Structure 1
Amino acid sequence: MNKISLQTGLAGALILMSGFAWSGDVKLYDKAPSVEELQRQLTGGDGGEVRKPRTRAIVFGDSTPAESEAPAAQPAAAAPRPQARPQTAQTAQPAESYSPPPAPAPAPAQASDRAIAFPINFSVNSSNILPESVPFLESIAGLMQKDTSMRLIVEGHTDKSGPAARNAVLSRERAYSVTNYLIDHYRIDPMRLMPVGKGFSEPLPGMEPTNPKNRRVQFRIGG
C-alpha cells in the first residue's frame, strides 16, 4: 500500500454539549462520533440523499481564494485557421504557421466550508499517533468506506506554543501521519486524501491561540 510522503504531497466562544463543541462551520468533537453523524455534519444531509455542500476555493501560493464555488472552466473556442494566400511563381511565400490558443487554466480545487475537528493525540513534539485517538480515525475510515466517492482534506493544526516554523512543519507531519494511518490500516485510496499543515494560522474562533484545544486535526470534503 502506497503512503503519501512529505516530499511528494501537496499543499464566538465554544459551547460544549453532547460530546462536541460548535464553532462556526467547525464541530470539535471530544469523543468519536458515529458515521451517520459525520455524514450529516460534513454534507449537510441526513445520511440518505447527500446535499451538495457549500464550497470555498483552496488556492496555494499568493492567489486570493474565492468565497463561493468556482464555475467550471469553459473550453476556449478554437480560433479560425488563417487562410493561405494564393501563390504564384513570382510571389511564392512560405505558408503561415498556426499556433492554437492556450488551454484555459484549470479551476482551483474546492473544499467545503463545513469541517469536523478531532483532538488527535500524538507523542510530545512528534507525529506518532497515540492509541486513544484510534476511535476517531475509525469513524473517519467508516465514513469513507460508506461513501467511496468522498475525498477529504486532512488539516493539521497546532496552538501558538513554540516557534512558528516548527509548528508549521509539525502540523504538516501530523496531517500526513493521519493520512498514512488511514491508508495503511483501512486501505483508503491515497488519491482520496489531501493532507495539509496549517500551523497555528487558524485558531478556533473564541479561543486564545495558545489554548491546547487548537491542537487538532480537521477534515473537510475536498473537490
Structure 2
Amino acid sequence: MEPTAPALDWRVPQSVYQRLLGDDFARLAPELRDYFSAPPAGSVGRGHGVFETAGSRTRWLAPVFTLLARRRILFPEYATDVPFTVTNIPGPGDGLSSRREFHFPGRDRVMHDTMHVIDGRLHDFLGRRGGLEVRLAVTVGTDGALRMASDAAWLHLRGLRLPLPALLSARVFLHESRADGRQRVDVRMRHPLFGEIFRYAGTFSYAYEPLP
C-alpha cells in the first residue's frame, strides 16, 4: 500500500533549521535560506535538478539496500546524471518532511525523512515510518554553506528505541552550498570498516509552489 503524505501543519512559524540555528541561520547563503526556511502558508517547497552521481557502488550491499528501498530509506541502484525532485512539506507536528524522487532509467526511487529538533539537536527520522533515527550536528561555514554530520543512530523496532553500535552504522555527512545561483548538495555515507558506501551529489533550483 502506498504511504500517505505527511499531514500539513501551517501553525509552524519557523522551520526546524531556523529554530535550531537561531542567529546563525542568517549566515546561510541566500539560496540556502530559501531552502531551509518553512514554506509559506498554502505552498510547498520543491526543487528540480540532476545528480551527477547517485547510489551505491558497493554491490555486495545491494540486498541490504533493496530491503531499505522498500522502507524508502536507501536504494541499490547506481547511476550518473540522474534527474531528481525534492519536496519539503511542513509537519507532522513541528517537524519538516522531505520526499526525494530519483528518476533512474526504467524506475523511480523515493527517499523519505522527517526532521525534528529534540533537546536542542537535529534528529532525522528516515523511511516512511521513521524506523531509523539519526542525530546530526549542524554548522554554518564562513562561506554560507551548511554542514551536517551524524553522531548517533537508533533503530525503532516494535516500540523499542535501540541504539546502533558504531560498527553497525554508517556515518552521514552532508554539505549544502550555492553554485552559480543554484543549490548544490553532497551527501555521503561512510562505514568505519568499508569506507564510502552511498552517495548522491548534484545541483538543483528551488522554489515555493502552491498546493494543487
Q: TM-score, normalised by structure 1?
A: 0.28
- Could you say which structure has the higher strand fraction? 2
Structure (1 or 2) with the larger CA radius of gyration: 1
Looking at both structures, which has the greater relative contact order when contacts are Cα pairs under 8 Å and sequence separation is at least 6?
1
Q: TM-score, normalised by structure 2?
A: 0.29
- Could you say which structure has the higher helix fraction? 1
